[in-house]
């Protein structure tokens, strides 16, 4: 190659950094349209309100490294921000494993009485891109806090089905 790029580097840089700014503006706008405060968003994200503010004011450059990468390899990045409700539900396929077990239980009452009974437990595990035949082990925590492990393919009636 003769050292010349087959595109205008400055124009690509402008387009990429403008797209990054637009992404941030559109996300902030959507947060405001939904009536969410920075504090509410921060709580949902598990970060501080100050951190969300830094993101929204451009002081946290969360997308900049990706933008820099794209610029240096000569790639365009486009972002699309739209309300989640615009994409219809039900168009995705997930592998799902169901496991069912009936267990005998005892209840100890404060007056000393003991009653026997049964409980039906159904567990559903989903993965969009499964890489195995089903759950190997399921652990159920009881009200007492004692963990009861089950081997899904040994102790339970298990079946795999495709839902979606």
Using alpha carbons, list the distances in angstroms from residue 43 to 37, 50, 82.
10, 11, 22
Q: Which residues of the chain have pLDDT under 50?
A: 1, 142-164
Reduce the DSSP state of residue 157 to 3 states and report it: strand
Give me the pLDDT at residue 160, please: 40
The model carries a pTM of: 0.53
Using alpha carbons, list the distances in angstroms from residue 150 to 46, 47, 123, 135, 136.
32, 36, 11, 10, 9
Segment 137-151, tens digit of pLDDT: 555 554 444 444 444
Give me the pLDDT at residue 95, please: 63
Give me the pLDDT at residue 26, please: 94
Give me the pLDDT at residue 147, please: 43
Tokens read off for 130? 């499964």
Nearest to 64 by CA among 4, 94, 104, 24: 24
Reduce the DSSP state of residue 22 to 3 states and report it: helix
Give me the pLDDT at residue 39, please: 96
């Amino acid at each position: 190659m003769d050292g010349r790029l087959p595109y205008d580097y400055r124009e690509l840089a402008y387009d990429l950094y403008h797209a990054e700014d637009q992404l941030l503006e559109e996300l902030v706008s959507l947060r405001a349209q939904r009536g969410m405060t920075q504090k509410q968003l921060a709580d949902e994200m598990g970060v501080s309100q100050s951190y969300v503010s830094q993101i929204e004011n451009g002081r946290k450059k969360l997308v900049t490294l990706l933008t820099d990468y794209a610029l240096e390899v000569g790639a365009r990045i486009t972002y699309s921000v739209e309300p989640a409700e615009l994409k219809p539900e039900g168009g995705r396929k997930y592998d799902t494993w169901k496991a069912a077990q009936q267990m005998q239980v005892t209840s100890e009452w404060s007056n000393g009485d003991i009653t026997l009974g049964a409980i039906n437990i159904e567990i559903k595990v989903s993965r969009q891109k499964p890489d195995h035949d089903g759950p190997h082990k399921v652990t159920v925590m009881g009200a007492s806090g004692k963990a009861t492990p089950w081997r899904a393919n040994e102790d339970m009636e298990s079946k795999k089905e495709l839902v979606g």
